[in-house]
A and B are shown apart, each in its own frame.
Chain A
């Protein structure tokens, strides 16, 4: 698809950056995105360097593994140490629990396997009929439908799910309601919105008078989204715009939503760096509870104290869109992608990890005029 080359076109990028400069008001403006992939686009292409100094883009709770409390990771480790095969996405493997990570558990002999998707986890269960297989089902609304699809197709008897799925609009509502993260607009996640559409964001725009734009993942996508947000600010509008039109329809993926509703119900849960957020996570419906690992193995660490951050780590504030990763005293010193101390430094989707790695692709970075 030739058209997509345009989304990295240097001339177009420069044009939009100029228009953004013209439209930026004479005060501090703060936009927050809530997607690890947006942070990657922004750091990889040096988008912040193209913006006026008073226009800031902060990263919010957009990385599901970073937002998973240590106690949920402890649950997965406990199940692995009890002899289950535990399958997980690669991002989750090294994220620290209270005392250790799944990677540490594997080093100590537990059977922990990284899978590309949930179908591979189900396959592992079919291939090991005498073993219990537990899949750590993590991710936002993009991933939850894939779990739902497997649940509804029918799971093997020896297969269960440690459901850690979390939902985006409730955490955005939390950020707005707390007032702590004073923000002028949201860059909404493109692939979460591919599933849920634009409608679930509308109550937030109405109630908190905040502009929102659903953006794609190329530099031109992100810049157009920023430009639309600024335009809304100037015109005093607070609407939900869709920039990522090639994938996001206002109604979203209705079939995926239906499957999610059939497999899951929403429950109150704590997030790493956040208190309990009402209706912000998913749990299997009662008819599937024999595949719910927490019930099947009578395990529930949700009331234990969760040691989510080591002393001095500012990941909690990074996740709430309050500080840049560079403001943490341990950033790129005590805490590095190779020796991460906080969850945001572990996975490529974490804001700290992304901020420490922009060096990896300098060729792709766009230069500001006069550089």
Chain B
């Protein structure tokens, strides 16, 4: 029910963005976010973007884990 799918913002018109979900395109409302930019990856839930995904933080958690694994292994 709380499923949310990441997609790439292709175009923004007012509070509505066209978002690409790996080939499928859909209009998504942006009311719940400020400052969304073209090219950003957003997390979409029931037609609304609920967050802008932060790729650098995604890398960070993996590299933190790798450091831990190295230290303990």
Contacts from A to B (Cβ < 8 Å): 1, 3-4, 6-7, 12, 15-16, 19, 22, 35-37, 63-65, 89, 91, 116-120, 138-140, 142-143, 145-146, 149, 153, 189-192, 194-195, 220, 224, 243, 245-247, 253, 255-256, 259, 347, 349
Cβ of B62 and Cβ of A89 under 8 Å apart?
Answer: no
Cβ of A347 and Cβ of B65 under 8 Å apart?
Answer: no
Smallest Cβ-Cβ distance to B8: which chain A residue: A1
Cβ of B46 and Cβ of A246 under 8 Å apart?
Answer: no
How many whole Å from B71's CB to the nearest CB in chain A? Answer: 11
Cβ of B55 and Cβ of A246 under 8 Å apart?
Answer: yes
Cβ of A255 and Cβ of B69 under 8 Å apart?
Answer: no
Cβ of A143 and Cβ of B1 under 8 Å apart?
Answer: yes
Cβ of A4 and Cβ of B58 under 8 Å apart?
Answer: yes
Cβ of B1 and Cβ of A246 under 8 Å apart?
Answer: no
State the CA gap A15–B68 with chains docked (Å): 11
Given contacts A143-B45, A245-B57, is CB(A153)–CB(B4) below 8 Å? no
B32 CB–A CB distance under 8 Å: yes
State the CA gap A190–B4 with chains docked (Å): 10
Cβ of A192 and Cβ of B2 under 8 Å apart?
Answer: yes
Count chain B residues whose beta carbon lies closer than 8 angstroms to a beta carbon of A: 32
Is the contact region of chain A dominated by helix, strand, or loop, or is it mixed?
A: helix
State the CA gap A259–B32 with chains docked (Å): 8
Task: List, in ascending order, chain B residues with CB within 8 A of A146's CB.
Answer: 29, 32, 45-48
Cβ of B48 and Cβ of A191 under 8 Å apart?
Answer: no
Smallest Cβ-Cβ distance to B32: which chain A residue: A256
Cβ of A63 and Cβ of B1 under 8 Å apart?
Answer: yes
Question: Quick one: which of B48, B58, B73 contacts A145, CB cutoff 8 A?
Answer: B48
B53 CB–A CB distance under 8 Å: yes
Cβ of A245 and Cβ of B58 under 8 Å apart?
Answer: yes
Cβ of B47 and Cβ of A117 under 8 Å apart?
Answer: yes
From 30 to 65 in chain B, residues with beta carbon under 8 angstroms from any chain A beta carbon are: 31-34, 41, 43, 45-48, 50-51, 53-55, 57-62, 65
Cβ of A255 and Cβ of B32 under 8 Å apart?
Answer: yes
